[in-house]
């Protein structure tokens, strides 16, 4: 027996190991805590001590003493180490301890032999076995849908940028599809709908549900240009609306309708309308004045009384400002427009003003008052003498008073024009005018003053009777002869009866007087009337009229006035008149199927008026005429029938208007006469042929249209597929037999209109609609620009503008193209094998890729439109083979140097020898299920993909294709994807399982394949967590034995709750978070107790 220590065998020192002693386990020390009164102790943990080996050696071989000592020194040199060194026993060569001799040993010599014991101390009590290295995690493939969402065929939504998995060859498979848009607005809740499409394009319908079906119809709307029979001639119709001045008018006139000068036909007037206005001083100057006069000039002139006093001061009594201001005791301004004085128990009341009163040439004052008693008084004083007296009671009514002072001794008081008292003066020293004065003592009596006028230095004498001023004016006469018969008469005037100063209202009476002109003069009637003296219908020849105004008012400070007056008369209409039209050429009509003439009134026809129409015609160009015949409004023209030859005909009509009321006339707005030609008896119209070949075999057809067929008329529609043999089509019926093969065919349609009554025509609608259903349930090449779809038992459906179907997507949400990529570094250019299961759809409309790479040296596998699978190496199409039948197929590509081969279902389908060895120059990504630009998706299911770094044998490939099991990865696989509801690569870590009996600390290396903000490496509950903005390419090394982590060679901190873990015996279970962001390898040495 021997040992190897620090790399040197004991035999090299002529030593024989005679005995090795060690315990079964290293010593353990339990850490416990005792508690008073409690039996035993609490166990916390145990500490494992060092392992010791006591090895007994015999030194063999004869030797001198000198030689013996020398060998002792060599042995001491061998065993003298500063730190633990490897220790291996020949009975356990696969395990290594790390030990240090304790240095305390004694070599005894017995003859030529020596023996001694050496104690080896192992600080690490466990032995180290073989070092194992392997991959425990790989970067996930990158799946993208451009951030968009898609839907499963059952209508549920797939998570954004998450693959759509479906049942596959083994478990699940992944679906890689191009983008699409669903053209059906009822995609989610199918209902009959129509879709506008591109004629001749390629479309595919997909339907989902329990026993679903859908009718696909090609729909076209044919425009119908000729909807009625043509006429034998040309209809003739004319309306007279604005040209009533043409033709012959007798007792009628063409009048304006407010817009058109000759827009109305009506009776002529017997004379002319007359209007006279008096408004200026010149107009008024020809009349006679009595107590009146013209004031002002031009149009500002007016007639008013001229017999009122010319007052020096007029006060409307709407303000106290001239009557001792607002401080006047007992006086207020009433809202009614007068001043009210109210008696008081404590103060004297009244209104007072102090003008420069003098009585030298007299003094006159008029005022309007209303009193409830005779207890108030007035004072008029020139500062020397005064005239004062009580103001008589008016019993609550308004009265006019005049105080007239002729000199300083004599005055008079008048009430409503009657002298009631002669006044005498008495001495008084204050000059004033005081009204409504009452001394204190009684409260609540009221005295109202409405207007006050006075003149100093003038005695205007007594007021007129009843204090009322009156005057008249009579106008010059007006000759009415030009009116002839009176139609209407009226007059208007502008007058005023109110006073500006008082509340008094006067009168302003207007009256009229008739006169007759005879013998060179006018004789006027003896009476005046408030009504105009002539009435409607009167003959006004030699008749005259004049007017007068009579004005009166009690207010002496203001007077009524007349500013203007207008007399207007309209002339009455003549009793009867006629209108005869110009001759009208109607020869273009040929023969008339119908005739009519009507007229409309401009307004409601007045009572007492009549309108009649008569017509006549000539058949020889106007040489001879029929007699005028009465024609009703809207009726036919007498004498003209459907057989009348109008090829040289002329037409003329006459209106006769009459009235029994000279003030009213019928007014014709317009007349229309129409000659309608007859229709042809029959006409056939053929629509342009329309290609329907793309429909294939029909599954039904339908034609429909709208039509009107009066009695004696008919419409017949026919169809043909060769423009020779025609079949009658009923409205709502079929075009041809169900199941007709329309390939290469053109649809022809024609319709025939006929009538037995030339005044009637059938009317075809403006369009004819036809639909042809196709038998093919999915593939559509539209023959028309509109497709009609009708679902039955359909839960969801989809129409795509492409010649093949892809997965269902709701309307309005387009699905983006899908890609699946992996790093191209898994491809070994020297040799390798790419295998996968693909579901062949049998669709060759466009090229579809299974595999592709980027870079300058192309490697691809695709199915082309020629129905073959093509393999590209080094950018060149290397080989191809016919695509297999619809269904699941195992496809494998193998390369080794320049030799390449393609296998379908385990059998070699094609092979080639390349000009150059396989290269993947510049490749960074492997595309699975699409071209390297993200287009030309496989549009089908892919399952069980495996990339190997060796050229698999024919036997291996055959087994993978035929054993009915997913491919089993081994140490030669670089990528294995099962697509079982996950993109996680398959990992087999059985070859790196820990068989040691003691824990061991691994070194973990993670190469980031994707960006991440953290990385967490876990083994069960223990983990190491690093927070960092990782980018692809970062290399993370975690040394659990040394308890350090580095990124790209630089030590980095780990989270406080991280634990650099050891591996226990058994399978390796290392996980990463986030999953799939890094390639993770592990390296460790097995340790043994």
Laid out side by side, the sheet with 1044-1047 consists of: 127-137, 1078-1088, 1003-1008, 1035-1039, 1044-1047, 1050-1051
CA distances from 828 to 515, 588, 897 (A): 136, 96, 10
Give dist(CA 440, CA 444) in Å, integer: 11
- 924 and 820 belong to one structural domain: yes
Q: What are phi and psi of 695, to 5 degrees?
A: -70, -25
Domain count, the chain: 7
**417 and 343 part of one domain:** yes
Per-residue pLDDT, 325: 64
Instruction: Please tell me whether residues 745 and 635 are part of one structural domain.
Output: no
Percent of the chain's residues with pLDDT above 70: 99
In the predicted structure, residue 397 carries a pLDDT above the cut 80: yes
For residue 62, the model assigns a pLDDT of 62
Cβ(561)–Cβ(506) below 8 Å: no
Residue 1076 Cα to chain centre, angstroms = 45
Would residue 1038 count as lying in a domain? Answer: yes
- With CA atoms as reference, report the closest residue to 187 among 1019, 813, 903, 989: 813
Q: Is residue 981 part of a domain?
A: no
Residue 504: inside a domain: yes
CATH number, position 1058 = 2.60.120.860
Quickly count: other Cβ atoms within 10 Å of residue 110's Cβ.
Answer: 9
Averaged pLDDT of the chain? 95
Give the bridge partners for 1017, in sequence order.
1024, 1072
Instruction: Compute the distance between CA of residue 648 and CA of residue 590 in angstroms, rounded to an integer.
Output: 8
How sure is the predictor about 36, in pLDDT bands with cuts at 50, 70 and 90?
confident
pTM of the model: 0.60
> pLDDT at residue 582 above 90?
yes
What pLDDT score was predicted for residue 46? Answer: 76
pLDDT cut 90: percent of the chain above it: 90
Average pLDDT over residues 540-564: 97
Rounded to whole angstroms, how far apart are CA atoms 1060 and 1066? 18
pLDDT the model gives residue 249: 98
pLDDT in tens, 811-857: 999 999 999 999 999 999 999 999 999 999 998 889 999 999 999 99
Beta-bridge partner residues of 1022: 1019
* Statement to judge: residues 876 and 1022 lie in one domain: no
Determine which helix (DSSP H) or strand (DSSP E) holds 327, and give its type and residue range.
none
For the cut 60, the answer to whether the pLDDT of residue 67 exceeds it is yes
Determine contact, residues 496/560, Cβ cutoff 8 Å. yes
Q: Report whether pLDDT(107) > 80.
A: no
Q: What's the CA gap between 603 and 203, in Å, rounded?
A: 65
With residues binned 3-state (H G I as helix, E B as strand, rest as coil), the percentages for the chain, rounded to 5, are 5, 50, 45
The arithmetic mean of pLDDT across residues 1065-1070, rounded, is 93
Q: Which domain holds residue 905?
A: 142-179+816-976
Quote the CA–CA distance of 224 and 144 in Å, as a whole number: 53
Residues in a beta bridge with 702: 771
Please provide the size of the chain in residues. 1089
Sign of CA dihedral 119, 124, 126, 128: negative
**pLDDT value for 1012:** 97
- Domain end (from 813, 831, 855): 813
Question: Which pair of tokens denotes residue 714?
Answer: 């008919």
Contact assessment for residue 106 and residue 120, using Cβ atoms and an 8 Å cutoff: no
pLDDT of residue 111: 44
Are 456 and 330 within one domain? yes
Rounded CA gap, 322 and 454, in Å? 14
Domain identity same for 337 and 443: yes
My answer on whether 560 and 600 are in the same domain is no
On the 0-12 / 13-18 / 19+ scale of CB atoms within 10 A, 345 is exposed
Closest CA to 909 of 868, 875, 968: 868
Q: Is the dihedral of CA 977, 858, 906, 837 positive or negative?
A: positive
Same domain? For 640 and 698 the reply is: no
Record the tokens describing residue 665, joined without a space.
Answer: 């006339």
355 lies in the same domain as 299: no
Residue 630: give its domain's CATH number.
2.60.120
Band (40; pLDDT cuts 50, 70, 90): confident
The whole-number average pLDDT for the span 42-47 is 78
Domain boundary among 414, 445, 462: 462
Interval 856-865: pLDDT, tens: 999 999 999 9
Q: What is the rounded average pLDDT of the residues 369-390?
A: 96
If asked whether residues 18 and 115 sit together in one domain, one would say yes
DSSP 842-893: ---SS-EEEEEE-SSS--EEEE-TTSEEEEEETTEEEEEEE---SEEEEEEE
Please state which of the ranges 106-115, 411-420, 828-837, 895-904 shows the lowest mean pLDDT.
Answer: 106-115
Q: Indicate if 563 and 505 belong to the same structural domain.
A: yes
Q: Which residues pair with 1041 in a beta bridge?
A: none
Residues 1005-1015: tens digit of each pLDDT: 999 999 999 99
pLDDT at position 678 is 87
Q: How far apart are CA 936 and CA 951, in angstroms?
A: 28
Residue 657 lies in a domain: yes
Do 803 and 825 reside in the same domain of the chain?
no
The pLDDT score that the predictor gives to residue 681 is 87
Q: CA torsion 820→825→830→833, rounded to 10°?
A: -30
Which of 59-63, 480-484, 556-560, 628-632 is predicted least confidently? 59-63
Tell me how far apart the alpha carbons of residues 820 and 942 are, in angstroms, rounded to a whole number: 11
Both structure tokens of 481: 């002869």
Does pLDDT of 110 surpass 50? Answer: no
Cβ atoms < 10 Å from Cβ of 842:
13
Averaged pLDDT, 877-886: 97
Q: Which two tokens stand for residue 552?
A: 């009166």
Nearest to 85 by CA among 99, 74, 72: 99
Establish if 543 belongs to a structural domain: yes
| Residue 682 is assigned to a structural domain of this protein | no
Q: Which two tokens stand for residue 368?
A: 């309007």
Asked whether the predicted pLDDT for residue 65 surpasses 90, the reply is: no
Distance CA 378, CA 404 (A): 13
Q: What is the CATH number of the domain that holds 376?
A: 2.60.120.200
DSSP secondary structure letters along 748-770: EEEEEEEESSTT---EEEEEEEE
Note whether residue 485 is domain-resident: yes
Q: Cα dist. 220→196, 476, 637, 784 in Å? A: 11, 88, 46, 6
Q: How far apart are CA 439 and CA 462, in angstroms?
A: 30
Note whether residue 685 is domain-resident. no
Q: Is the four-CA dihedral 802, 803, 809, 812 of positive or negative sign? A: positive
Tell me the C-alpha distance between 585 and 926, whole Å.
91
268 with 251: CB under 8 angstroms? yes
pLDDT at 446: 96
Of 506, 539, 569, which closes a domain?
569
Beta bridge partners of 446: 342
Q: Quick: pLDDT tens for 750-785.
A: 999 999 988 899 999 999 999 999 999 999 999 999
Q: Decide if 1038 contacts 1025 (C-beta within 8 A).
A: no
């Amino acid at each position: 027996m021997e040992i190897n220590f620090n790399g040197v065998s004991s035999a090299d020192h002529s030593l024989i190991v005679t005995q090795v002693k060690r315990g079964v386990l290293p010593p353990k020390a339990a850490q416990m805590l005792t508690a008073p009164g409690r039996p035993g102790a609490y166990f916390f943990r145990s500490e494992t001590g060092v392992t010791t080996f006591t090895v007994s050696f015999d030194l063999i071989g004869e030797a001198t003493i000198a030689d013996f000592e020398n060998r002792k020194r060599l042995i001491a040199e061998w065993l003298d180490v500063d730190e633990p060194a490897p220790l291996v026993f020949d009975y356990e060569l696969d395990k290594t301890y790390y030990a240090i001799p304790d240095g305390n040993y004694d070599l005894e010599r017995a003859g030529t032999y020596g023996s001694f014991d050496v104690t080896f101390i192992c600080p690490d009590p466990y032995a180290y076995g073989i070092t194992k290295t392997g991959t425990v995690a790989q970067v996930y493939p990158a799946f993208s849908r451009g951030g968009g969402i898609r839907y499963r065929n059952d209508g549920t939504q797939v998570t954004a940028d998450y693959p759509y998995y479906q049942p596959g060859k083994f478990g699940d498979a992944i679906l890689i599809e191009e983008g699409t848009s669903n053209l059906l607005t009822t995609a989610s809740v199918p209902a009959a709908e129509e879709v506008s499409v591109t004629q001749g394009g390629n479309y595919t319908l997909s339907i989902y549900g329990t026993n679903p079906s859908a009718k696909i119809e090609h729909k076209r709307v044919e425009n119908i240009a000729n909807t009625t029979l043509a006429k034998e001639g040309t209809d003739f119709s004319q309306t007279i609306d604005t040209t009533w001045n043409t033709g012959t008018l007798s007792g009628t006139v063409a009048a304006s309708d407010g817009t058109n000068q000759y827009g109305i036909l009506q009776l002529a007037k017997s004379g002319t309308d007359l209007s006279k206005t008096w408004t200026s001083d010149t107009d008024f100057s020809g009349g006679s004045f009595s107590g009146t006069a013209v004031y002002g000039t031009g149009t500002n002139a007016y007639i008013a009384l001229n017999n009122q006093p010319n007052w020096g001061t007029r006060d409307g009594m709407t303000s106290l400002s001239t009557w001792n201001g607002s401080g006047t005791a007992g006086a207020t301004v009433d809202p009614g427009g007068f001043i009210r004085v109210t008696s008081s128990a404590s103060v004297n009341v009244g209104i007072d003003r102090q003008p420069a009163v003098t009585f030298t040439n007299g003094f006159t004052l008029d005022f309007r008052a209303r009193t409830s008693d005779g207890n108030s008084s007035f004072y008029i004083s020139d500062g020397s003498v005064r005239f004062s007296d009580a103001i008589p009671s008016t019993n609550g009514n308004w009265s006019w008073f005049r105080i007239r002072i002729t000199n300083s001794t004599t005055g008079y008081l008048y009430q409503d024009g009657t002298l009631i008292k002669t006044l005498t003066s008495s001495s008084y020293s204050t000059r004033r005018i005081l009204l409504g004065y009452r001394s204190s003592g009684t409260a609540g009596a009221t005295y109202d003053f409405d207007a006050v006028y006075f003149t100093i230095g003038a005695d205007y004498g007594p007021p007129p009777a009843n204090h009322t001023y009156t005057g008249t004016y009579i106008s010059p006469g007006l000759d009415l002869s030009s009116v002839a018969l009176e139609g209407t008469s009226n007059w208007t005037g502008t007058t005023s009866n109110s006073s500006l100063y008082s509340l008094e209202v006067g009168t302003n009476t207007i009256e009229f007087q008739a006169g007759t002109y005879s013998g060179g003069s006018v004789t006027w009637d003896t009476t005046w009337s408030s009504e105009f003296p002539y009435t409607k219908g009167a003959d006004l020849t030699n008749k005259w009229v004049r007017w007068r105004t009579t004005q009166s008012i009690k207010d002496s400070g203001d007077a009524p006035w007349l500013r203007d007056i207008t007399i207007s008369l309209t002339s009455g209409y003549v009793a009867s008149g006629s209108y005869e039209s110009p001759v009208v050429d109607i020869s273009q009509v040929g023969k008339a199927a119908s005739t009519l003439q009507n007229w409309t009134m401009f307004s409601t026809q007045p009572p007492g008026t009549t309108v009649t129409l008569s017509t006549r015609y000539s058949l020889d160009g106007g040489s001879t005429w029929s007699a005028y015949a009465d024609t009703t409004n809207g009726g036919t023209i007498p004498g003209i029938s459907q057989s009348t030859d109008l090829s040289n005909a002329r037409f003329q009509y006459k209106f006769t208007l009459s009235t029994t009321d000279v003030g009213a006339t019928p007014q014709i707005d317009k007349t229309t006469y129409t000659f309608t030609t007859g229709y042809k008896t029959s006409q056939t119209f053929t629509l342009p042929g329309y290609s329907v070949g793309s429909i294939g075999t029909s599954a039904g057809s339908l034609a429909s249209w709208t039509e009107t067929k009066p009695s004696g008329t008919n419409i017949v529609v026919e169809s043909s597929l060769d423009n020779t043999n025609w079949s009658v089509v009923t409205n709502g019926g079929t075009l041809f037999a169900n199941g007709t093969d329309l390939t290469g065919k053109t649809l022809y349609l024609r319709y025939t209109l006929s009538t037995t009554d030339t005044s009637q025509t059938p009317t075809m609608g403006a369009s004819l609609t036809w639909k042809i259903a196709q038998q093919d349930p999915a593939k559509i090449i539209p023959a028309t620009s509109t497709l009609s779809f009708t679902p039955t038992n359909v839960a969801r459906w989809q129409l795509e503008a492409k010649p093949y179907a892809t997965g269902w997507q709701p309307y309005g949400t387009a699905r983006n193209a899908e890609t699946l990529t992996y790093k191209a570094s898994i491809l070994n250019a020297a040799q390798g094998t790419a295998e996968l299961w693909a579901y062949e759809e049998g669709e060759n409309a466009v090229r579809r890729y299974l595999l592709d790479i980027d870079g300058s040296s192309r490697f691809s596998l695709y199915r082309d439109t020629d129905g073959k699978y093509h393999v590209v190496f080094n950018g060149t199409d290397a080989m191809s083979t016919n695509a297999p039948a619809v269904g699941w197929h195992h496809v494998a590509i193998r390369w080794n140097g320049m030799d390449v081969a393609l296998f379908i279902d385990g059998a070699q389908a094609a092979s080639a020898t390349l000009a150059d060895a396989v290269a993947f120059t510049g490749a960074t990504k492997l595309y699975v299920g699409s071209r390297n630009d993200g287009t030309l998706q496989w549009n089908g299911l892919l399952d069980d993909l495996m990339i190997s770094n060796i050229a698999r044998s024919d036997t291996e490939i055959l087994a993978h294709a035929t054993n009915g099991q997913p491919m089993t990865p081994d140490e030669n696989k670089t990528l294995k994807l099962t697509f079982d509801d996950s993109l996680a690569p398959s990992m087999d870590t059985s070859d790196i399982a820990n068989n040691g009996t003691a824990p061991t600390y691994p070194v973990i290396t993670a190469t980031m394949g994707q960006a991440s903000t953290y990385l967490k490496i876990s083994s069960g509950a223990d983990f190491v967590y690093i927070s960092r903005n990782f980018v692809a390419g970062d290399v993370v090394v975690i040394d659990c034995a040394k308890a350090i982590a580095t990124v790209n060679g630089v030590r980095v901190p780990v989270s406080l709750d991280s634990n650099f873990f050891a591996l226990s015996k058994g399978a390796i279970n290392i996980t990463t978070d986030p999953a799939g962001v890094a390639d993770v390898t592990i390296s460790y040495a097995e340790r043994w107790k």
